[in-house]
Amino acid sequence: MEIKSIQTKKIYKNIVEQIIFLIREGSLKSGDKLPPERTLAEMLDVSRASLREALSVMEIMGIVDIRPGEGSFVSDLDVLPFISLVLPLLLKEGSFEDDLIEFRRLIEIAGIKLVCKNVDKNSEMLEELKDTIVQMEENLDDAETGARLDIKFHRILFSMGNNIVLVKVLEYLGFILERTVKFNRNSILSKGDSANMLLKHHTDIYDAIVSKDENAATKAMEAHFDFVGSKLL
């Protein structure tokens, strides 16, 4: 006799998948309000408990925003809730900061080539880059603002690669990245006249991109990270 398995998958997973399907399909858009738990549970023909397990998961995944007293809302995929939970576990595994800086160096140097290839498609972002540099010039003394602009500069750079995977990966790392960038700048700025040096690096990178010179851009980025690395030791 042959018996086929009917339905072993947990209910909450089915719910999550169904919601994700609706988001993907377009029936649910960012900002949309989900029905109240009681109603939605009835619609799905499941208990509130199961639904709430699904909602908790989706909250951590960053696809729904649950506001007590108001309701649950579909949100743009926000990676922070998940990352901030997982981060401590990743940090557990030995020296992490060094690897992160190394990885960042790796990916930014590799990515800059991509950026050069796509300059023409991103003229308005080029403007933003220029603006950021100008602002850097005007805020050489303000370490806090400098750090913020530094982060902004690199973020714009990433998006100019026109590669969604690159952007997503760095978005996921962004949270951690920001901390290290700030940390880097702080320990760098404490040593001598580094603010001007960092400004020069960013300017060099910008110029190389404008002239679509891959080699120059790569060299400028390498120089940037060499400098940062040397100051950290």
Partner DNA sequence: AGTTTATTTTAGTCTAATCAATGAAATTTG
Partner DNA sequence: CAAATTTCATTGATTAGACTAAAATAAACT
Q: What is the contact surface with DNA in residues (CB under 7 A)? A: 8, 10-12, 34, 36-39, 45-50, 52-53, 55, 66-72
Q: Is 215 in the site for a copy of itself (CB under 8 A)?
A: no
Q: At what angle do helices 143-159 and 97-117 cross, to 10 degrees?
A: 50
Question: Cα angle at 89 between 86 and 91, to 5 degrees?
Answer: 110
3-state secondary structure of 32: coil
Q: Is 111 in the site for a copy of itself (CB under 8 A)?
A: yes
Toward DNA, which CB reaches closer, 52 or 113? Answer: 52
What amino acid is encoded at 90 in this protein?
L
Question: Cα angle at 168 between 162 and 171, to 5 degrees?
Answer: 115
DSSP H stretches of helix in 45-96: 48-61, 80-92
**Least distance CB 21 / DNA (angstroms):** 18
Indicate which single residue of 43, 80, 91, 134 sits in contact with a copy of itself (rule: CB under 8 A): 91
**Least distance CB 103 / a copy of itself (angstroms):** 4
The option from a copy of itself, DNA, none interacting with 37 (CB < 5 to 8 A, set by class) reads DNA
Indicate which single residue of 39, 90, 186, 190 sits in contact with a copy of itself (rule: CB under 8 A): 90
Toward a copy of itself, which CB reaches closer, 79 or 216? Answer: 79
**Least distance CB 215 / a copy of itself (angstroms):** 14
C-alpha distances in angstroms, 157 versus 22, 32, 105, 113, 128? 33, 32, 14, 11, 10
Toward DNA, which CB reaches closer, 52 or 117? Answer: 52
Toward a copy of itself, which CB reaches closer, 80 or 110? Answer: 110
Q: How many CB atoms lie within 10 A of CB 103?
A: 12
- Which residue has tokens 């790392």? 173
DSSP string, 5-67: ----S-HHHHHHHHHHHHHHHTSS-TTPBPPPHHHHHHHHTS-HHHHHHHHHHHHHHTSEEEE
Residues that bind a copy of itself (CB under 8 A): 12, 16-17, 20-21, 23-24, 49, 52-54, 56-57, 60-61, 63, 77, 82, 85-86, 88-94, 96, 99-100, 102-103, 106-107, 109-111, 114, 163-166, 168-169, 172-173
